[in-house]
Amino acid sequence: MSEREEFIAKKIADAAYTVHKKLGPSLLEKVYEVCFCHELSKRGLTYQRQVDVPILYDGIVFNEGLRLGVLVEDLIICELKAVEEMNPVWEAQTLSHLKLPGKSLGFLINFNVPLIINGIKRIIL
């Protein structure tokens, strides 16, 4: 990872921690997403929410491909969850989300945990 990616990654983890500390677990994913993005802004980071990524298949571009949760600084993908149990498929899905647009670092963050440190998974391609 580049120094810039590491710097941004620390700010992402800090933003997730702050949101979880203020709101706790058991809210809707959408609530965490909007608050998380607000915290990213407070840290001087740019982001895009619910980013559509087209899929190239069989020589055809399909615009209905997939949707990234939050793209930070056009570098790091954050997939946010608010669930009791994490599904291993979501980690594989996050890896696919990294591969298609050519990104190398992502986070799978579950806010529905007692301690947010147990809800943050860093994924490197």
pLDDT digits 0-9 by tens, 76-121:
999 999 999 999 999 999 999 999 889 999 999 999 999 999 999 9
Higher pLDDT, 100 or 74: 74
**Domains of the chain: total:** 1
- pTM here? 0.93
Which domain range does residue 54 map to?
A: 3-124
Q: In what order do the strands lie in the sheet with 76-81?
A: 47-57, 60-72, 76-81, 105-110, 120-124
Confidence of residue 52 (pLDDT cuts 50, 70, 90): very high
Confidence (pLDDT) at 1: 86
The domain that contains 51 carries what CATH number? Answer: 3.40.1350
